[in-house]
Structure 1
Amino acid sequence: MQTNHFLLLIFFASIFLSFTCVHTTTDPSDVQALQVLYTSLNNAAQLTNWKPNNGDPCGESWRGVTCEGSAVVSIELPDLGIDGTLGYMLSSFTSLKTLDLSGNNIHDAFPYQLPPNLTSLKLANNNLSGNIPYSISLMYNLNYMNLSHNMLAQNVGDIFNNLTSLTTLDLSHNNFSGDLPTSLSSLSSISTFHVQNNQLTGSLNSLAGLPLTDLNVANNRFNGWIPKELLSVPTFIYDGNSFDNGPAPPPPPYTPPPAKPHNNRTRSPPPRTHKGSDAPASDTSSGKKLSLGTILGISLGSAFFILFTVLVLLFCLRKGKKTKRTPRTSTVNPPVIPEKVNAEMQEQRVIPTASVVDLKTPPNENSTYENGKSGSMKRVKSPITTSSYTVATLQTATNSFSQDNIIGEGSLGRVYKADFPNGKMMAVKKIDNAALSLQEEDDFVEAVSNMSRLRHPNIVPLGGYCPEPEFRPPMSEVVQALVRLMQRASVVKRRPSDDSGFIYKTPDHEAYEMSY
């Protein structure tokens, strides 16, 4: 009888252990991401049970880690005095809903990639620098974001168009500058917005139609008139700015009045007219004159519009005839440098001849065009002869763009030393830009293709590029910077045994060493 009880005990124990093993094994991608985060936080002693290798976060109850099944859904480590960076694998937490590392000493720039399905992001009271990453614009489920009391700078960034679930946004006590982005008007669920103690400028017009209950814009450089819709916000703090006093100016003549907001609690009085002591009876005659002027303006505008339309049609017909006369295929030379850049190149010719480089025209690699539909010209894409790198690869090679890896800094951004696992060392130019909006994919690909084929004794060949949207600079800045570098750079040292490396020095005493 005792033997039977003993066998039953062993049986139930084995079932329990197998059940526990099945339900506590953490997803491998979450385990790897936690290990990278642990290493980036300098293996902090406060992170009990955490391990840099192996381990089961869900089964071993790593501090601050919450799981649902095998997925990590929450990382909450506030006010622990942890020092380090956020690493480069946060985007691997595909099931993570809450990330709270506030009240620590997290430093360096914001990583470009963040957990895509977050609902709550709390990184307040740290030492984060740089600007807000573009990847936040893709967090469609984000409900709460607090980035206050950091060292974030530049423009806020036009990244809020898709964040319709966001209810609380705190960007206070940073170094943001420039105007508020227009995409803030898309925050249809926002109730709390704090941006006090920054260096923001411009007006508050983008906030006028939001359902705010708590708004703090104190101690900035805002100016103009406060929209009347904001005056009805229950908690509205706006001191320490340069707002205009008195009522807002009347609209321009013959302009229809603005539409009334849906949540307007008070009726605005009719606009005042500045006509001295005119009697009320004169308002009727004034109204008649205004109506007559409106009719006259509409008539003239209609006539002008018809004339303009006829001219446009004639121009299009004439252009269509010219297009039909052109052959089916043709070749054109590379585009001409804009006049603005040409003027800068002319000014540089004043430099003594010892530092002027005689630039030769690159090989004539013509672009081919074909006639598309409706007589339009369609460019045939040229192949890209250089390598592409992911943001994660560049962050690994530059230690998350650490301050220790900076080897130079120019007018468009910093240059970082990148050490790749295969032993290759390269210089990565990270161009600073808050609103990373590239209009067309083909523009970026074509520019990279052209630059990858550029060969000149004073120009380092392009060794690679990053095709991910949040890492691309505006192409106009790239082209202008490349032309200025071609005109101003002079070779001060060249390795005799390795043609793949050059050191360049510009008149601004910026030196770069690159290899490919």
Structure 2
Amino acid sequence: MVKMVALLLFVILLSHSFANADTDSSDASALRVMYSSLNSPGQLTKWSSSDGDPCGESWKGITCSGNRVTEIQISGLGLSGSMGYQLTSLTSLINLDISNNNLGNQIPYQLPPNVQRLNLAGNGFTGGIPYSVSQITSLQYLNVSHNQIQGELSEIFGSLSSLNTLDISLNSMTGKLPQSFKSLTSMKKIYLQNNQFTGNVDVLANLPLDDLNIENNQFTGEIPEKLKGIMQKSNSNTKSSGPAPPSPPGAPPAKKSTQSHKSGGNSSPSSGKDGSHNGEKSGISSGRVAGIVISLSVVGAVAVIFIVKKRRRKSSTDIEKLDVEPFVLQSQKVQDVKLSQTSSATSMDATETPTAVTLKPPPINHHKSVSGDDLSAKLIILQKKTRTTETKAVQYSIADVQMATDSFSVENLIGDGSIGSVYRAHFGNGKVLTVKKLYSSELRNPEDFLKMVPDISQLDHPNVTELVGYCSEDGQHLLVHEFHENGSLHDFLHKMDDDNTRLTWDTRVKIALGTAKALEYLHEACSPSLVHKNIKSENILLDADLNPHLSDSGLANLMADVDQGLNHNIESGYGAPEAAISGKCTTKSDVYSFGVVMLELFSGRKPFDRSRPRSEQSLVRWATPQLHDIDALEKMVDPSLTGLYSIKSLSRFADVIALCVQPEPEFRPPMSEVVQALVRLVQRANMSKRLHSDDQD
């Protein structure tokens, strides 16, 4: 009897142990997506894209606490592909080390929200550091060294007061150091060497540093005495005549250099697990910082495996289930780093301008992929951040604006919208801007105008129209914005027949992606989340290079909930079904309206057109049943494209449209997932072009 009781207890304990080993479903899903995005490599033993228990089965590189994943350490395994798009689900992850692989492309926007150590070094990443990093207030260690990151460092460090080690060495970054560096009150170690930074280093002067490397940049000006002392102290610790210390996790193996230590022979940081820096560095002897830049010699070929599968049409409502037949790309590896003591070099063109963020939003905790009516209701706010009441916008007098618009003359009238009229304005400095004259009858409370201007002026994204100034006098409420010479997307698609051919398929995809990024910024980077309420092609302005800029952002809170703008949006075919019923707009109704804009780009048709047969008047009703039919897509696409497109690209674009315009708001994806899907579409298209070009050679 005693044996039976003991056996029973053993079985109960054993089953309880296995039950505890079951990984949190959101964590397991994120790892499966990651495995698939990494092209299901054999190096990741026990990993699976369809099932499995990461914690209970001890997947390679995975550490858990209870049923939550706390660490992912898969450095130096030769992995390719991408990290997936569900990293924000890993809310218990504190250490992510995926350094020294071949991931290439851009650092993903979606990152674990509570990570403390983030090591992305040595992956060939291009583009910039995503502004989502500014949301990870728990971050203590950030290493993005030994990549090909370009452009300027944006103002993303204001909320990162816990960050103590920052390594962005051996990249192609330019511009001045951001003022938000001053907020890094815990910073001990900064490695900026081997970039193309300019300006002075004064912003570092008051940080509690004990290790600093700024070599091989183009800094100018006097170095603060405190920083000289730190650099000299760091340099004196590496004067040993013995061999150089080993490279750290997150840095490629160091090569022997023929240069002396004074020329930066071993410039890569050796930051061990504690973030310490042991690499040899040279001090800077004069009060001026020499402009020394690096020349990267890239050796090796790109191995490409093109996986062709017959396209399957589907009715899935989940964006992660879209076709992801990947091109497996072994990214270019930097085989040799040669330091040249030239005073200037040609910088690499940035693929995308980094986004400067002044709102400093709190971290976003996505326990699982957001799919509710309103994204803002799904956010778990870890730290409350209030917006500053200061405004970057210039205050104009009514006399200034009247002079610039010739007293709002008809000749300067650009258009009439649902919330105001827009005029071209020529100011005294030769600057051409636009003035939006808001209809006072549409304002919820005119007194709120001046309260909202600071918030609107802080919106800072390359695809959001910038607020330059404002005027509030004599009952007038005026907003002054930057001017975009190519007008609106609506005019390009529906009024400029001769210019319509300029909107190639690639340009249309670019416009969709840029607009999606703007909405992603409003919905997921701003706190609280901003609902646009009035997404339509008339509010997407095109600059000289046909890049999109979303206008009227941030104006929703000024307007009445049930206003002519909302009614117009519904009547014109952009409004989501639930908005027509409730009179309320949410982030999910914005997603729907964006899907309608994508349909416009796809078909060249207006969202609602009474001149067409009754069954074709509503673009969504006419197009939706055909979006999963490959044969129908070519008949639906804008005839002005004259066949100059890829069928696969059309099909994948249609997949995203179908998800965005679903009648049930809970099934529409968040904009971050839409962005990821469009990015993958662009990447596949670029790869296909390279392959086609190679075939022609």
Residue 250 of structure 2 corresponds to residue 206 of structure 1: no
Q: Please tell me whether residue 10 in structure 1 is matched to residue 12 in structure 2.
A: no
* Residues 96, 119 of structure 2: 8 Å contact kept: yes
1:99 correspondence with 2:100: no
Conservation of the 8 A alpha-carbon contact between 1:219 and 1:238? no
Deviations 1:410-430 (A, max 9, x none): 9xxx86859xxxxxxx94237
Does residue 428 (structure 1) correspond to residue 472 (structure 2)? The answer is: no
Alignment check: 8 A CA contact 1:221 1:242 kept: no
Corresponding residue number in structure 2 for 1:244: 288
Q: Provide the residue aligned with 1:31 in structure 2.
A: 28
Match of 2:180 in 1: 183
Find 1:337's aligned residue among 399, 414, 424.
424
Judging changes above 3 Å, is the alpha-carbon distance between structure 1 residues 170 and 366 closer, same or farther for their aligned structure 2 residues? same
- What is the deviation of 1:21? 2.0
**Gaps (5+ residues) in structure 2?**
236-280, 290-396, 399-417, 453-501, 549-571, 576-585, 588-632, 643-648, 658-697
In the TM superposition, what are the counterparts of 1:497-512 in structure 2 within 5 Å? 498=636, 503=641
Distance 1:48 1:104 in 2: 16
Question: For residues 48 and 496 of structure 1, what CA distance do their matches in structure 2 show?
Answer: 43
Aligned partners of 2:91 and 2:112 also within 8 Å: yes
Please state how far the C-alpha of 1:180 moved relative to its aligned partner. 0.5
Helix, strand or coil for the counterpart of 1:106? coil
8 Å Cα contact 1:29-1:92 kept in structure 2: yes
1:43 has 2:66 as partner? no
Structure 1 distance, partners of 2:78, 2:60, is 14
Cα offset for 1:110?
Answer: 1.0
Query: How far off its partner does 1:230 sit?
Result: 1.2
Counterpart residue number, 1:163: 160
2:73 to 67, 71, 76: 76
Matches within 5 A, 1:128-167: 128-167=125-164
Kindly indicate whether the alpha-carbon contact (under 8 Å) linking 2:515 and 2:540 is maintained by their aligned counterparts in 1: no
Matches within 5 A, 1:66-465: 66-233=63-230, 234-235=233-234, 244=288, 334-339=421-426, 368-370=441-443, 372=445, 417=509, 427-429=512-514, 445=532, 448=535, 451-452=538-539
Measure how far apart 1:372 and its partner are.
4.5
User: Equivalent residue of 1:127, what SS?
Assistant: coil
Query: Alignment RMSD, CA only?
Result: 4.8
SS at match of 1:18: helix
1:172-194 deviations in Å (ceiling 9; x for gaps): 00111111000001101111000
Contact 1:82 1:106 in 2 (8 A): yes
Kept in 1: contact 2:143–2:167 (CA 8 A): yes
Query: Deviation at 1:41?
Result: 1.0
Q: What is the distance in 1 between the residues matched to 2:45 and 2:213? A: 38
Tell me the distance in 1 between the aligned counterparts of 2:106 and 2:175. 20
1:57 aligns with 2:54: yes
Higher strand share: 1
Contact 1:173 1:196 in 2 (8 A): yes
Contact 2:535 2:574 in 1 (8 A): no
Paired residue type of 2:423:
V
1:334 offset after TM fit, Å?
1.4
Aligned residue for 1:67, secondary structure, equals strand
* TM-score (normalised: structure 2): 0.41
Q: Hey, what's the Cα distance between the residues in 2 that align with 1:462 and 1:243?
A: 64
Mark the CA change 1:427 to 1:67 in structure 2 (over 3 Å): closer, same or farther: same
Rounded to whole Å, the distance in 2 between the matches of 1:444 and 1:375 is 17
Shift of residue 119, structure 1, vs aligned partner: 0.6
- Structure 2 match to 1:254: none
Q: How has the CA–CA distance of structure 1 residues 142 and 451 changed in structure 2, closer, same or farther, with 3 Å as cutoff?
A: same
1:235 maps to amino acid: S
Q: Is the 8 A contact 2:127 2:151 kept in 1?
A: yes
Distance (whole Å) between structure 2 residues aligned to residue 502 and residue 162 of structure 1: 48
- The CA deviation at 1:204 is 0.3
Contact kept? 1:221, 1:241, Cα under 8 Å: no
3-state SS of the aligned residue for 1:21?
helix
Q: Distance between the aligned counterparts of 2:419 and 2:44, measured in 1?
A: 63
The alpha-carbon distance between structure 1 residues 225 and 77, as it changes in their structure 2 partners (threshold 3 A), is same
Task: Give 1:278's aligned residue.
Answer: none
Paired letter, 1:7:
M
CA distance in 2, matches of 1:119, 1:129: 23
Deviations 1:116-169 (A, max 9, x none): 100100111111121111111111111111110011111111111111111110
Return the letter of the residue paired with 2:94.
K
TM-score of the superposed pair, with normalisation by structure 1: 0.55
Contact 2:419–2:438 (CA under 8 A) maintained in structure 1: no
User: Aligned with 1:334: secondary structure?
Assistant: strand
User: Quick one: distance in 2 between partners of 1:440 and 1:115?
Assistant: 18
1:393 aligns with none
Deviation of the 1:368 alpha carbon: 4.0
* Identical residues among aligned pairs (%): 35
Q: Distance in 1 between matches of 2:56 and 2:16?
A: 12
Structure of higher RCO (CA pairs closer than 8 Å, 6+ residues apart) = 2
Asked if structure 1 preserves the Cα contact closer than 8 Å seen for 2:174 and 2:197, the reply is yes
In structure 2, what is the Cα distance between the partners aligned to 1:107 and 1:459? Answer: 24
Measure, in 2, the Cα distance between the counterparts of 1:70 and 1:106: 28
Q: Residues of 1 paired with 2:111 and 2:126: CA distance?
A: 16
1:40–1:85 Cα contact (<8 Å) kept: yes
The alpha-carbon deviation at position 441 of structure 1 amounts to 9.1
Residue identity opposite 1:429 in structure 2: G
CA shift in 2, pair 1:370/1:128, >3 Å: closer
Q: State the one-letter code of the partner of 1:335.
A: V
> What is the CA–CA distance in structure 2 between the aligned matches of 1:168 and 1:76, rounded to whole Å?
18
Q: How many residues align?
A: 334
Check whether the contact 2:63–2:69 (CA below 8 A) recurs between aligned residues: yes
The one-letter code sitting in structure 1 at the alignment partner of 2:426 is E
Which has more radius of gyration?
A: 1
- Deviation (angstroms), 1:66: 0.7
Distance in 2, Cα, partners of 1:125 & 1:459: 31
Q: For residues 470-489 of structure 1, give each alpha carbon's deviation from its aligned partner in whole angstroms, at most 9, with x where no partner exists.
A: xxxxxxxxxxxxxxxxxxxx
The residue type equivalent to 1:189 in the other structure is S
- Shift in Å, 1:17: 2.1
Taking the aligned partners of 1:228 and 1:155, their CA distance within structure 2 comes to: 26
Q: Note the C-alpha offset of 1:210.
A: 0.5
